[in-house]
Structure 1
Amino acid sequence: MKKMRLASVAGVAIVGLALAGCSGGGSSGGDASSGQDSRGPITYVQGKDNSNVVRPLLDKWNAAHPDEKVTFKEQSDQADQQHDDLVQHFQAKDSGYDVVDVDVVWTAEFAAKGWLTPLTDKMAVDTSKLLPATVKTATYNNTLYAAPQTSDGALLYYRSDLVKTPPTTWSEMMADCDIAKQAGIGCYAGQFAKYEGLTVNVSEAINGAGGSVLDKDGKTPTLTTSDAAKGLQNLVDAFKDGNIPAEAITYQEEQGRTAFESGKLLFLRNWPYVYNLAKTDGSSTVKDTFAIAPIPGATGVGASTLGGHNAAISAYSKHKATAHDFLEFLESNETQSFFATQGSLAPVVESLYDDPTLVEKLPYLPVLKTSIQSAVPRPVTPFYPAVTKAIQDNSYAALKGDKTVDQALKDMQAAVKSAG
């Protein structure tokens, strides 16, 4: 995905929790059944379209639907501002926000408050061709509330001129750090600044080591296990011995990308958007000397955090029949292919990852498919902000050496438990 789109996707791509069954408070929802047979102009709301994906698609839709035109309401490129804007308009019961772009971490919150139209009965959409993991991100309490629109998964970028065979486990990658030292560059970096990306990286480390943040019941935190401790300890040790450069404690996605493109890193954990930029940026020194692989885990492919965005119909929309058809338009193979080629966005249609034409243009697609298929499902909780804060605060303290791993996880466990 392009870097500005990243602010609303990867910047909130977070730990794989599943607190399904929680109920949120807040304002009452709208009448989801109202307007289901009504057609007319609608508005589509999404974050900043710096990749110029939305406008061409709307031009195509509007040319074919002159009486049901879609107007684009462009938000900022900041995820928190996008979220707050949607909340304000939902609370005001604004019928002018018909179809909204919802980050996967917001689905449960909005659905629990009655702000989204359930995609059931005449509002149902066909999800049989979609990646199953993406459908889970749009589901709350066993009901589909949004149409998967784009997905995302972590990739390991590596210097193929220095490492001929990519590491498949964390231990193998750490062993390869000797190559980085000989080359006089940093070994590995991800996103370790104190923001949502840290939650992503820490949860991937815990899940990749065989641990988990929550039990299978989707409610009980499981952060005080030996496997969870091993995962966080891997990151702490890598900082201590220099395998993760000290400056990486300040890295978000863009700082890591810049470091990798300038030849300062052997390995980088990041999102697919980096691929095209590393190949085409005039300042990139690794255009022909990098490759991609799945992120490594304890014994093989690691557990990526699943990112992405879904399209939902506001409960207050007056033209839900048109909004429903627009959702199907967004999920069409043609639109999904355009998302991939125009915006480097991961499609949700499973077959596209094996399409020879697309793979030729975007060679990372097969690896990305593996990443998404092994990814941990996104959070389904109305209480997400408190959960991610608990993970960020305590893991950051451990990485900085202000808390032991055991203490950090004990405090994290208590905070996550109280969040729900």
Structure 2
Amino acid sequence: MAVSVSAALFAAVLAGCSSDSSSEEPAGGPEKSADRGPITLATGKDTTGTIQDQLDRWNKDHPKEKVTLIELPESADQQRQQFVQNAQTKSDAYTVLNLDPVLVSEFAANQWIDEIPAGDFALDKMLPSVVETGKYFGKQYAVPFNTNAGLLFYRKDLLDKVGAEPPKTWQEMKDTCAKVAKLPEGKGVDCYAGQFDKYEGLTVNFSEAVTSAGGTIVDEQGKATVDTPEAKKGLQFLVDGFKDGTFPKSSITYQEEDGRRAFQAGKLLFHRQWPYQWTLANATDGSSKVAGKFGIATLPGLDGPGRSSLGGLNLAVSKYAKNKATALDFMKYFASEENARTNLEVTSSAPPYAALYDDPALQKKFPYLATLKQSLDTALSRPPVVRYGDATAAIQESASAAMNGKKSVDDALAEMQKNLSAAIDEK
């Protein structure tokens, strides 16, 4: 999941790594359809438990155009697999797809999703970098439902006890962990965890480590660049974390929910996580032992603040769906600023609308909004490689081998460079 990618690089990467169909522009679109009726929303597992309520509101007002929720697995990799299988079989089972933004280029290039009428959505009110994630060759194929940037959740109560501020560097984080470990309250509290299982989350965490060390995954010409000293420092941080005990051994299999549960149980001092954890970790129903005891900061890096990978979810219309006119109207509702505000208030998910970050009432309720906006401002998009499945698999395989001690850092990066280049360059 690469980083350091400008709008100009998007085109360069796409031009250099597209399959035969990538140069073709998908024809037609939902704006040309007048078909109305029941539709489906295919999305990853709703860990917030709120999507059905949103659909119920729509369904109450549209009894002849009801939306049925199709929940896919929690794993991002398994979600992609099911989205691809549905498209390759030209099934109409999925109408609106809630996609990881990095998949938009792949799906548009393969003509699995339709171009959407950009003027029908309030894209001018959204963060420009977020809107860009829904584009392919300058045309809009998806509209942001939410966005995401990685944040550092930390136990403020324990940092206060040792007189420490949120760390800006990896070394500061390790030093603070050593101080907290000496406290009676620090017993049984591990230092740090992210998403280290061999899945899409590892691609995100590897990318953040590399860019937070000053490296890149691809250069401005769209070529793989993981055989550099900076990339080595990034992967070395992840490898050393398991060797020196900074990361608990169990976190080698952590995905988002595993780490969330560990943090809420009071087992982590620091946790790299998406904003949705805020509401869940502050629950006062007994499910969280750290409610009111934690804070949020930007990710630390090698020599200063780190950089997050840009996440989120984008809504797109399946090429093979029925009732596309209904799909468009539903997307306008589901991706509206009003719904984004509700999602922030209920689930603490990051909204794509710029004005919500400056809203005084929201800032009071969610004091981390300024930090989140700062993280989003410096977040880097993963490159929209058409053969993204191969690219992320190359990153995951090699990074995991190094972190598990099966390969040296040098050998892992050499292997990654070779396989990532092949994924980018293959026509």
The one-letter code sitting in structure 1 at the alignment partner of 2:268 is L
Q: Does 1:182 align with 2:211?
A: no
Cα 1:245–1:337 shift into 2, 3 Å: same
Normalised by the size of structure 1, how large is the TM-score? 0.87
Q: Which range moves more in the overlay, 35-44 or 143-152?
A: 35-44
Deviations 1:135-185 (A, max 9, x none): 122112222210011111111111112224111122221222221331333
Cα 1:366–1:139 shift into 2, 3 Å: same
Give the C-alpha shift of residue 267 in structure 1.
1.1
Distance 2:33 2:198 in 1: 46
2:158 aligns to what SS in structure 1?
coil
Native 8 Å contact 2:279 2:347 kept in 1: no
Native 8 Å contact 1:45 1:100 kept in 2: yes
Native 8 Å contact 1:303 1:371 kept in 2: yes
Q: 1:20 aligns with which of 14, 19, 26?
A: 14
Cα 1:85–1:404 shift into 2, 3 Å: closer
Distance 2:67 2:372 in 1: 32
Deviations 1:59-92 (A, max 9, x none): 433454566x232241333444543443344334
2:224 aligns to what SS in structure 1?
coil
Pairing 1:55-134 to 2, within 5 Å after superposition:
55-65=52-62, 69-78=65-74, 79-95=76-92, 97-120=94-117, 125-134=121-130
Distance 1:396 1:195 in 2: 9
1:292 aligns to what SS in structure 2?
strand
Cα 1:290–1:73 shift into 2, 3 Å: closer
Deviations 1:85-122 (A, max 9, x none): 4334433444564322222232112101112221347x
1:61 aligns to what SS in structure 2?
helix
Native 8 Å contact 2:236 2:409 kept in 1: yes
Distance 1:288 1:322 in 2: 43
Q: Does 1:229 align with 2:235?
A: no
Deviations 1:267-315 (A, max 9, x none): 1111222222221151432223211111112343311111111111233
Q: 2:157 aligns with which of 156, 161, 166?
A: 161
Q: Which residue of 2 aligns with 1:40?
A: 36
Q: Which residue of 2 aligns with 1:388?
A: 392
Deviations 1:378-409 (A, max 9, x none): 33122112211211221122222332222211
Distance 1:238 1:94 in 2: 44
Native 8 Å contact 1:118 1:143 kept in 2: yes
Native 8 Å contact 1:37 1:321 kept in 2: yes
For structure 2, list consecutive stretches of 5 or more residues without a partner in the other structure: none
Cα 1:253–1:314 shift into 2, 3 Å: closer
Cα 1:126–1:290 shift into 2, 3 Å: closer
Q: Which residue of 2 aligns with 1:268?
A: 271
Deviations 1:354-383 (A, max 9, x none): 222223333332222222221111331221
The one-letter code sitting in structure 2 at the alignment partner of 1:225 is T
Q: Which residue of 2 aligns with 1:353?
A: 357
Percent identity of paired positions between Structure 1 and Structure 2: 42
Distance 2:198 2:322 in 1: 41
Native 8 Å contact 2:2 2:216 kept in 1: no
The one-letter code sitting in structure 2 at the alignment partner of 1:175 is D
Cα 1:41–1:205 shift into 2, 3 Å: same
Distance 1:40 1:265 in 2: 49
Native 8 Å contact 1:34 1:318 kept in 2: no
The one-letter code sitting in structure 2 at the alignment partner of 1:174 is K
Aligned residues: 404
1:74 aligns to what SS in structure 2?
strand
Distance 2:281 2:82 in 1: 33
Structure 1 segments of 4+ aligned residues over 6 angstroms from their partners? 26-30
Deviations 1:300-358 (A, max 9, x none): 33111111111112334454444333322223221111122233322111111222222
Distance 2:309 2:153 in 1: 16
Normalised by the size of structure 2, how large is the TM-score? 0.86
Distance 2:281 2:406 in 1: 35
Distance 1:298 1:236 in 2: 14
The one-letter code sitting in structure 2 at the alignment partner of 1:98 is T
Q: Which residue of 2 aligns with 1:214?
A: 218
Distance 2:329 2:259 in 1: 40
Distance 2:83 2:191 in 1: 40
The one-letter code sitting in structure 2 at the alignment partner of 1:205 is A
The one-letter code sitting in structure 1 at the alignment partner of 2:18 is S
Cα 1:338–1:402 shift into 2, 3 Å: same
